[in-house]
Structure 1
Amino acid sequence: MSEPRHTLHVVSGKGGTGKTTIAAGLACALATRGRRVLLCEVEGRQGLAELFGVHPLEGDEERRLTRTPTGGSVYGLSIDAEDALREYLDTFYHLGLAGRALDRFGVIDFVTSIAPGLRDVLLTGKVYEAVRRGQKGLPTAYDAVVLDAPPTGRIGQFLNIHDAVSGIAKVGPIRSQADSVAALLRARTTIVHLVTLLEDMPVTETEEAVAALAPSGTRVGTIIENMVSPSPFEPAVLADVAAGAVNLSVPGWDEQRNKTLAGEFAVEAARTLEQQVRHDRLLRLGLPLVQVDFDPLGVDAESLFAIAEQLTDQLALEAA
């Protein structure tokens, strides 16, 4: 992959589509030839620590998660809205101990719960700060930042920062930060990747997310079809198998076992044809499609690097 054109990659997808895994694979793909990439999560699940097999990420800690085979490093940051609000209160209002007292009484948790727009500004504000370090050329700068964002059902609201705070703050530090974050999200250096499975609900949510993001000005760059199992058969053959028009017989098996086998093949053929229909729906969105193969062995560091390689190959072809 050539020098990244985008410094902020936002990855979203319906829950269960493997968006965190894809975000991690993308971070590994970007971390080449000495590059430093920051991988951020904002949902408080410590998914990155679990994925990379490291201790939980705490506070503002930016810890190296892995070195990539291509010579780069991926760092992790788990952003917590309550921590971000405490930092905000201390920075702009110098509350210090008073801010911690508010935390003990549950005020901070209450505020971030009743004002989700504020919560999102605080979360994305930390990402903004990390990206800005690269623009300023600071020693702690990253070549790219990958954000494992909330699911597609909430991604439009999450990234539409300007509208989210319009009812909370007209002026002041919160509004200023929201405007800065909104400008970053609309910048040409920011791109959104949507992860989906070739199943009905994830594809529907992907279509809805593309529509929801259009008014915000945030660019959707790639649809990533995850856990794909390519079929070696042509659609016409699959249609015949699904219709039961192909005689499947294993020598030495009795009629009942062969009938059961044929039924299983028919179900699988029908499922594959349905996936092709959903793939065609995604094609109609007019966005580049990337496919990541299904790995029956599960996810570990090696499989993350394999995903990174697949993304590198396909995104490089796309850029060409």
Structure 2
Amino acid sequence: MDTASARTANLERVSKTDWPRVRLHVVTGKGGTGKSTVAAALALALASTGKRVLLCEVEGRQGIAQLFDVPPLPYEERRIAAGLPSPDGGQPGEVHALHIDAESAFLEYLSMYYKLGRAGKALDRFGVIEFATTIAPGVRDVLLTGKVFEAAKTQRRKGTSSKDRLGYDAIVLDAPPTGRITQFLNVNGELAGLAKVGPVKAQADTVMTLFRSPQTAVHLVTVLEEMPVQETADGIAELHAADLPVGGVIVNLVRPRDLDAEDLTAITDDTVDHAAIATELASAGVTPGAGLVSGLLAEARDHAERRALEDSQRALVNEMGTKVYELGRIAGGLDLGALYELAGSLREQGLA
């Protein structure tokens, strides 16, 4: 079987997913929730069924390069990893990456639509592009989102960041934080006072056809803490108000449940048998010296309080009216193996 036939066969084996029609997965979240990590894991999970996946970033942090331990990415699509192995033994797909910056996107735009090759680079040398995107932030977002739209095409133009002109089966966008995501995606609204006609307005209109279609889903990453959960709820409300498609909520960095509900209640109510704990410590070869048992119980009470807080926040997340997914905290730090582990969890839960 040739490569093209194998890829087609793998795509026909796609496992059950909650988002079968989605091609553009936008991942956002409050800073510190791990949205870039989730975006990378989602890209690996999507590529497990033979899909060709593009992982994009637009914030200028080179987060993809750090996660995959590769050199800083230029404005050029590059293969960075194979997808998670297919559960049915099929050939995994590939993950490509693209670091999108407004200046490079503007030069590409000028070259594609106005044939300004050297002239466009001259503008860049004189700082005209930086000046234009600084005084009009809405234009910067149009350029960044426009590049995502261009990458989503099945056939690519010459002169773009893609060398082979092939399209992608799925795109994962590591997007700005939740507090700015609606503004970033709603480029029409941002341009309302800047451009009512012309090519920039036309491009914004075209981009919005994709962002508001069933091919797009905006997934929100949170942790079980009050501020991130509240920001997630606010973000969902803002996305709905702007008619942008809300995807799932990914609860990241979930702590393991080492104690059951009965034990937690006993710790909270201070009904734990201190003597029994001392006996168990002794049987394990640990001398229960003065203060050891009380110290352990103090830590247990802190854990119980933390668990109660997390459970209350989890209840709020479950009331948001979206699909909810959970990713556990990875012990020992984050590396490529951990990303594959997270990717497997997302696939098992139906996000990919």
Q: TM-score, normalised by structure 1?
A: 0.92
Question: CA separation in 2, counterparts of 1:175 and 1:282?
Answer: 37
Residues 75-100 of structure 1: per-residue CA shift (max 9 Å, x gap)? 00010011112222333344433332
**Equivalent residue, structure 2, for 1:126:** 147
SS of residue matched to 1:132 = coil
**Equivalent residue, structure 2, for 1:106:** 127
Q: Does 1:240 align with 2:256?
A: no
**Equivalent residue, structure 1, for 2:322:** 287
TM-fit CA distance, 1:239: 3.6
CA contact (8 A) 2:156 2:165 kept: no
From 77, 80, 87, the equivalent of 2:101 is 80
Question: CA separation in 2, counterparts of 1:67 and 1:96?
Answer: 34
Map 1:271-286 to 2 at 5 A: 271-286=306-321
SS of residue matched to 2:344 = helix
Q: Does 1:253 align with 2:288?
A: yes
Question: CA separation in 2, counterparts of 1:85 and 1:226?
Answer: 35
**Equivalent residue, structure 2, for 1:208:** 234
Q: Percent of aligned positions with the same letter in both sequences? A: 48
Unaligned runs of 5+ in 2: 1-14, 87-91, 158-163
**Equivalent residue, structure 1, for 2:74:** 58
Map 1:161-200 to 2 at 5 A: 161-200=187-226
TM-fit CA distance, 1:130: 1.2
From 303, 310, 313, the equivalent of 2:348 is 313
Of 27-36 and 1-10, more deviation after overlay is shown by 1-10
Residues 256-310 of structure 1: per-residue CA shift (max 9 Å, x gap)? 1211111111001100110000000111101111001111122211111111110
Change (3 A) 1:134 1:274: farther
CA contact (8 A) 2:41 2:339 kept: yes
Question: CA separation in 2, counterparts of 1:168 and 1:217?
Answer: 21
Question: CA separation in 2, counterparts of 1:263 and 1:312?
Answer: 38
Change (3 A) 1:239 1:108: farther
Question: CA separation in 1, counterparts of 2:94 and 2:264?
Answer: 44
TM-fit CA distance, 1:122: 0.6
Question: CA separation in 1, counterparts of 2:341 and 2:255?
Answer: 15
Tell me which amino acid in the other structure corresponds to 2:69: G
Whose Rg is larger?
A: 2
**Equivalent residue, structure 1, for 2:89:** none
CA contact (8 A) 1:81 1:123 kept: yes
TM-fit CA distance, 1:243: 4.2
Residues 178-218 of structure 1: per-residue CA shift (max 9 Å, x gap)? 01111101101111111111111211111111011012222
Question: CA separation in 2, counterparts of 1:81 and 1:244?
Answer: 58
Q: TM-score, normalised by structure 2?
A: 0.84
Residues 1-55 of structure 1: per-residue CA shift (max 9 Å, x gap)? 3484211000001111111111111111110243200000001111111111111
Tell me which amino acid in the other structure corresponds to 1:158: F
Change (3 A) 1:282 1:33: closer
Q: Does 1:96 align with 2:112?
A: no
TM-fit CA distance, 1:104: 2.3
**Equivalent residue, structure 2, for 1:30:** 46
Question: CA separation in 2, counterparts of 1:285 and 1:103?
Answer: 45
Question: CA separation in 2, counterparts of 1:244 and 1:153?
Answer: 41
TM-fit CA distance, 1:236: 4.9
CA contact (8 A) 1:64 1:76 kept: yes
Tell me which amino acid in the other structure corresponds to 1:223: V
SS of residue matched to 1:83 = helix
Question: CA separation in 1, counterparts of 2:216 and 2:267?
Answer: 45
Tell me which amino acid in the other structure corresponds to 2:263: V
Question: CA separation in 2, counterparts of 1:243 and 1:97?
Answer: 74
**Equivalent residue, structure 2, for 1:67:** 82
Question: CA separation in 1, counterparts of 2:36 and 2:339?
Answer: 11
Question: CA separation in 1, counterparts of 2:117 and 2:219?
Answer: 38
Question: CA separation in 1, counterparts of 2:193 and 2:247?
Answer: 30
CA contact (8 A) 2:150 2:156 kept: no
CA contact (8 A) 1:19 1:195 kept: yes
TM-fit CA distance, 1:105: 2.8
Question: CA separation in 2, counterparts of 1:295 and 1:271?
Answer: 18
